[in-house]
Amino acid sequence: MRAQIDDLRYRYHVLNDPEVTDKMYEGLMDELRKIEQEHPELITPDSPTQRVAGKPLDEFKKITHTIPQWSFNDAFNEKDITNWIERISRMLSRSERDPAVAGEKEYGSVQADLNYTCELKIDGLHIVLTYEKGLLKTAATRGDGKVGEDVTQNIRTIQSVPLRLKEPVNLIAEGEVWLSDKMLKKINDQRLKINEPAFANPRNAAAGTIRQLDPKIVAERKLSLTTYDVSKIGTKIERLKDYKISVETQAGELKLLKDLGFSTDEDWRVCKTQTEIFKMYDYWKEHRHKKPFWIDGLVIKVNQKKYQDALGFTGKAPRWAIALKFPAEQGTTKIKDIFVQVGRTGALTPVALMEPVQLAGTTVTHATLHNFDEIKRLDVRIGDTVVVEKAGEIIPKVVRVLEKMRTGKELKIKRLKDCPICGSPVEQKIVGDKKKELSAALFCANPKCYAQELERIIHFVSKKAFDIDGLGEKIVEQLIDEGLIKNPADIFSLTKGDLEPLERFAEKSAENLVKAIEKAKSVTLPRFIFGLGIRHVGEETAIALANQFKNIEKLMKATNEELEAVEDVGPRVSESIFEYFKNKESKKLVEELISNGVKIKKQEKIETGNPGSGSKDLKLAGKTFVLTGTLSSLSRDEAKEKIRQLGGSVSGSVSKNTDYVVAGENPGSKLDRARELGVKVLSEGEFKKFLGV
């Protein structure tokens, strides 16, 4: 009966091929329990009934690893892999010319013979399993590589872990414990109901589960374990030769693990060239969500064991293997300082200055903390070690604090009462349709605050607004400091003579900037509206307003009701527009812009939502697109422009009215939302075919 139950377990949890229903399986288990209760002398450690056994532990004992547990060096691009391959090839060339190394081949023959196994790098918790005569003896975490924690009692609860191997071998195997997304959602739903914080990701949940002292809790969470390495195998293995499996290669080890009854991932392959490696890398970078576990890259290993032995180890990692990482979406770093930015609308945004961390293929040093309520919720302090996250092109954000890493020297952040730039009082603004709810953000009450003026002008000259080439942030700041401009309208009164005496300016650069300013005087109405920097008015809303009102004068006189009649303009946005144009300073700015020579082009209805588009091919008319992630062949602005040229519109959020979501690399939550709503998702290749480019 034990053999039958174990076979069914193996088919279900390892081969993913259930042969009987859960009810039938539990019926057999109940029958086995009754037999063992009546005959306790028949109970053995490898019995299926003994997976969840024993009382909760008081603490985990330490285990000294027989084989040191190494971590891999990381690679992030083709250059890193090229350097690694060249390095190991040189080492093998030298070692094989040494008579002490069997073979004594020439350098060229090493390259001809050398190949690599490429395996999916599962983002889970590393576990070391020790078997004696085929029976599971211990399971331990990696720890510091020399000493780990004994988590045998918990690992036994995992159904994909064999308690008895198919052959009575002495073996040390390594693998990764992981949790499925589906199970993570279930666990987090339960935790939130009892006011416990949700796990940030499956890896954290798996690690937290394995550290539970009660194995019953571990069993309920249905972890899995996938093995990928044999770090030691007994020399006297009866019948090993009958397997017809070579353990002289990494590929042979993977096959051996599967034959012994372990769960292994099937999506590995042997690659001969770097081109083959990156073909596999590119495929899984795009399709990583097809697997039930999280993948954060590939592990590339020299396939031949004789070459592994020749290459050996550095002080912390094997020379014969490397982890080729996908662009990270999350990382861990330390907060060096927290400062507050004041934006063009006066909003105060706390920003964390961090030690450099790699996220989504780039090094970042800053992350947003959104507002002071968020600082309080996270309990984030200067000096904290934190988890930061980046999705698509969104600025990184701090998602949680690692409280156990605190030293006691961390500094708390107090809520500001005054603007850090001008010293004026700060306030919360009324939000919501009922005008009773206050904003989470704080705002500087002084509309002439230097920081607000600076950000407003930077926004005004940006690519999507007046697009004045040569007016970068540093130049704008210099012009304000010199007293040459105090608002956007002053830009159009600048002369070559004003600019030439300034640092950074020579005769030619001053002349070029004056020409760029003159060119920007002719502008479409949508760009003009967007450039004003009205709160809640983005690029798409500016286009909708231009289509509705045709000229700036009508827009300035529009009532709340008229504004709300515009597509996609709700009460909050209409209120913001109405209040902006009611303000005397705003009206004065528009008047000064026009008196300084700005001419708004005659507005015709823009079917495409794109200022100045003259395309007559409107095959995307009426279709709404949402872009998420990074496109490799187009910038996001170029993609938007092409959609609009063909009559489509672009939205910033996914709803039931969205027709297509275009997903590039590192897509964010918009992709998940699209799947929830059943919105058609286009890859970059499909999107380009759609556009006919």
Q: What percent of the chain has pLDDT over 70?
A: 86
What is the CATH code of the structural domain delimited by 329-446? 2.40.50.140
The answer on pLDDT for 86 being more than 80 is yes
Q: What average pLDDT score do residues 562-586 get? A: 86
Superfamily of domain 624-691: BRCT domain (3.40.50.10190)
- Does the domain at 450-520 match CATH 1.10.150.20? Answer given as yes
**DSSP secondary structure string for all residues of 604-622:** ---TTS-TT------TTTT
Q: What is the pLDDT of residue 105?
A: 40
Q: 215: burial class by Cβ within 10 Å (0-12, 13-18, 19+)?
A: buried
Under CATH, what is the fold of the domain 1-50? Helix Hairpins (1.10.287)
* Antiparallel, parallel or unpaired: β 347-359 and 362-368: antiparallel
Residue 123 and residue 295 in contact, taking contact as beta carbons nearer than 8 Å:
yes
**Torsion angle defined by CA atoms of residues 678, 684, 685 and 686, in that order, rounded to the nearest 10 degrees:** 30
Q: 419: burial class by Cβ within 10 Å (0-12, 13-18, 19+)?
A: buried
Nearest to 566 by CA among 551, 555, 582: 555
Q: What average pLDDT score do residues 604-609 get? A: 50
Q: What is the pLDDT of residue 107?
A: 39
Residue 170 and residue 234 in contact, taking contact as beta carbons nearer than 8 Å:
yes
Annotation says 486 is catalytic: no
The answer on pLDDT for 103 being more than 50 is no
Contacts of 263 (CB under 8 A, 6+ apart): 13, 14, 160, 161, 224, 225, 226, 227
- Between 1 and 64, residue with greater pLDDT: 64
Q: What is the pLDDT of residue 20?
A: 59
Strand segments (E) across 168-267: 171-178, 224-233
* Antiparallel, parallel or unpaired: β 385-389 and 330-342: antiparallel
Q: What average pLDDT score do residues 477-485 get? A: 81
Q: What average pLDDT score do residues 673-685 get? A: 86
For residue 379, give the DSSP letter: T
pLDDT tens for 502-520 read 776 777 788 889 999 999 9
409: left (phi over 0), alpha (psi -120 to 50) or beta: alpha
Confidence of residue 4 (pLDDT cuts 50, 70, 90): confident
pLDDT tens for 225-254 read 999 999 888 755 544 554 444 578 999 999
Q: What is the pLDDT of residue 278?
A: 94
The answer on pLDDT for 303 being more than 90 is yes
- Domain parsing of the chain, residue ranges: 1-50, 329-446, 450-520, 525-600, 624-691
Please give the radius of gyration of the chain, using alpha carbons only, rounded to the nearest integer. Answer: 32
Confidence of residue 116 (pLDDT cuts 50, 70, 90): very high
Q: What is the pLDDT of residue 614?
A: 40
Residue 388 and residue 398 in contact, taking contact as beta carbons nearer than 8 Å:
yes
Q: What is the pLDDT of residue 491?
A: 93
Q: Which amino acid is at 644?
A: R
Dihedral pair phi/psi, residue 393, rounded to 5°? -100, 10
Strand segments (E) across 452-601: 522-523, 599-600
Q: What is the 3-state secondary structure (H, E, C) of 459-480?
A: HHCCCCCCCCCCCCHHHHHHHH
CA 556/CA 559 separation, integer angstroms: 9
- Between 173 and 16, residue with greater pLDDT: 173
Confidence of residue 564 (pLDDT cuts 50, 70, 90): confident
pLDDT tens for 250-275 read 999 999 999 999 999 999 999 999 99
Q: Which range among 105-119, 310-324, 634-648 shows the weakest confidence by mean pLDDT? A: 105-119
Tokens of 367: 């992350």
The answer on pLDDT for 594 being more than 90 is yes
**Cα 335 vs. chain centroid, distance in angstroms?**
19
The upper half-sphere exposure of residue 640, i.e. CA atoms within 13 Å in the direction of its Cβ, equals: 17
CA 80/CA 508 separation, integer angstroms: 42
Considering the candidates 61, 121, 305, 599, report the single residue annotated as catalytic.
121
CA 560/CA 191 separation, integer angstroms: 44
Most confident of 262-266, 312-316, 350-354: 262-266
Confidence of residue 668 (pLDDT cuts 50, 70, 90): confident
Write down the mean pLDDT value for the chain. Answer: 83
| Residue 349 bridge partners (DSSP) | 341
CA 20/CA 29 separation, integer angstroms: 13
The answer on pLDDT for 470 being more than 90 is no
| Residue 173 bridge partners (DSSP) | 129, 230
Q: Which amino acid is at 261?
A: G
Q: What is the pLDDT of residue 288?
A: 86
Q: 625: burial class by Cβ within 10 Å (0-12, 13-18, 19+)?
A: buried
What is the CATH code of the structural domain delimited by 525-600? 1.10.150.20
Tokens of 2: 């034990």
Q: What is the pLDDT of residue 244?
A: 41
The answer on pLDDT for 600 being more than 50 is yes
Nearest to 44 by CA among 55, 32, 56: 32
Q: Which range among 92-101, 111-120, 592-601, 645-654 shows the weakest confidence by mean pLDDT? A: 92-101
Angle, helix 584-595 to helix 571-582, in steps of 10 degrees: 70
Confidence of residue 615 (pLDDT cuts 50, 70, 90): very low
Residue 306 and residue 102 in contact, taking contact as beta carbons nearer than 8 Å:
yes
Indicate if 624-691 has the same CATH topology as 450-520.
no
